[in-house]
Amino acid sequence: MPAVVCLLCIAALIGASPGFETDTSSRSSDDPLVPDSVLTIPSGPTLILERTAGIPVVGIRVSAPLDPPWPGAARILVEQALDRARSRAEAIGAELWGGVQDGRIAFHAIADARYADELAWVVRLLAAEPEAIGAGGAIAREHARLDQLAETPRGRLVLEMEGRVLGGGGGALPVPAVDDVRDMWRRSHARDRLRILVLGDLPLHWVFSDLSRIGAPPGPPAGAPFMPPPRTLSFPESPLYTWSAAAFSLGPAHDPAVLAAAAALRVGLVRSEMPNAAVNMVEGPNDRSGWLGITVRAARRRDADAAMASALALMTEEGLDAWWTMGAATARSDFMAAASTPAGWLALSDRYHADDGSTNARTALERLTTLRRQDLAPVLEQFQATLFRPGIDR
């Protein structure tokens, strides 16, 4: 539908709907990697629409900022939302997913286009306020997850980095209470902070009527969010092995050079010879404050140190020289695989959306396709600048 007609429809709808103001913006594109329309509704969500013809499904993604940056609370929020929506989604065979991705709490639901109305209902359930009833199970599972992670050196690295990168200090963030989860929902799911992405052959009035009023009332509650201090982890010394760890921030994960460098590092670690030591990569959430970690396990300290030194040597231009082409190819290949599916299209469009329109999935693919070796230099500098060596074996 031409953009002009879209705007007329919007204007008509806005006129008919007292909740909407007339201040909307809209763009239009013919590139499948650039959404047709981006509509910003005052005191309402940002609607990112791609009207498709000839594909038999409808996909809807809702994403909200991670506010406060407390992954445990987000995990419980997501788990409760999925529990609420699961049976309705199963009834229509919808693919249902929820998680923390690209620094946002996100959900998607995808089903046959015949079930668009039911799918909207599923999405409303996903974005609804979490209830106290039923939260106990999700909280218990989060306790179990943290306890389990704290039992291993690798898990300890995950907890340390989660607290450090997201919470601002070392140590593990505690398990949130029911009220903390509800506070997160009020802040993150405030209607004017939501992004709703719709992929499908649907009329605009359908999107407005079914999706524009989901989430919490607009405007987050006043005041800073509550963030508990991280607690220090105690860890028994390993009687058998020496462990060593390093971690660094990824920087903006929507930057294709970051994706390529991380992929190159992954390939380099797998292919490099590290005698007498087991070297593993640990990846934090792939988001704007994501991180990568390396753990080394060896029977002797000197073997662990040598292996870690080899691994860190990869984080230089010379070190990645042999692997960067493969890293760039992997990043491109991952992008293509994602773009070919409705779920992947929604995730990429969400990841590369910029309010000012400066980035989108197309610009990311172009950057990935034209990536040169020297583009990785600033990324490696960022890696080096944020390098952190947590103690995980005592």
Partner 1 sequence: MRRRPDPLGTLALAAIAGAFGPLHAQESGSGLIREPDSPLLISREWLPVASVTMAFPASARSNREALLAQAGDAALLAALREATADQPVRVTYDRDATGRYFIATAAPEVAESVLETMRRASRTTLPTRLVDEAVSALRRDLAFRGELPRSQFDRIMDAHLRGAGGTLDGGSPVASPDSAGLAAEITTGSPASRWGPPTWVVVGNEEAFPTDESRAIPPFLVVGAPARPPEPLLTRVPSDAVTHWTGSVFRFPSQTTLLEAFFVRLLLEELLESRRDPDLFEFDTGIDALGRLVVRLSTSAEMSGSWETRLDEAILRLGSEDGGVRLDQLLPRVLSRWSRELAPAPGAGRAAAEALLRGATELQAASFANSAASLPSAERLRAVARGTTLESRVVYGGG
Among positions 185-224, residues that touch partner 1 (CB under 8 A) are 201
Our finding on whether 369 is near partner 1 (CB under 8 A) is: yes
When the beta carbons of 172 and 328 are compared against partner 1, the nearer one is: 328
Our finding on whether 326 is near partner 1 (CB under 8 A) is: yes
Our finding on whether 36 is near partner 1 (CB under 8 A) is: yes
Lay out the site mask for partner 1 across 260-279 (x = CB under 8 A, - = otherwise): --------------------
When the beta carbons of 105 and 348 are compared against partner 1, the nearer one is: 348
Count of C-beta atoms within a 10 Å radius of residue 31: 10
Q: Which amino acid makes up residue 65?
A: P
What's the per-residue H, E or C state across 51-113?
Answer: CCCCCCEEEEEEEEECCCCCHHHHHHHHHHHHHHHHHHHHHCCCEEEEEEECCEEEEEEEEEH
Q: In whole angstroms, how close is the CB of 208 to partner 1 at the nearest point?
A: 18
Of 11-19, 41-49, 104-112, 184-192, the window that binds partner 1 (rule: CB under 8 A) is 104-112
Query: How many C-alpha atoms does 14 have within 13 Å on its Cβ side?
Result: 17
Of 77-85, 86-94, 231-239, 277-285, the window that binds partner 1 (rule: CB under 8 A) is 86-94
Query: What sign does the dihedral 243-248-249-255 (CA atoms) show?
Result: negative
Binder to partner 1 among 24, 46, 52, 212 (CB under 8 A)? Answer: 52
Our finding on whether 393 is near partner 1 (CB under 8 A) is: no
Lay out the site mask for partner 1 across 338-357 (x = CB under 8 A, - = otherwise): -xxxx--x------------
SS3 content of the chain, % helix, strand, coil (to 5): 45, 15, 40
Binder to partner 1 among 126, 258, 267, 365 (CB under 8 A)? Answer: 365
Phi and psi torsions of 218, nearest 5°: -65, 155
The residues near 301 (Cβ < 8 Å, ≥ 6 apart) are: 242
**What residue spans of 314-394 are helical by DSSP H?**
324-339, 342-351, 361-369, 377-385
How many positions of this chain bind partner 1 (CB under 8 A)? 47
Per CB under 8 A, residues contacting partner 1 are 1-2, 28, 30-33, 36, 50-57, 90-95, 110-115, 201, 325-326, 329, 332-337, 339-342, 345, 361, 365, 368-369
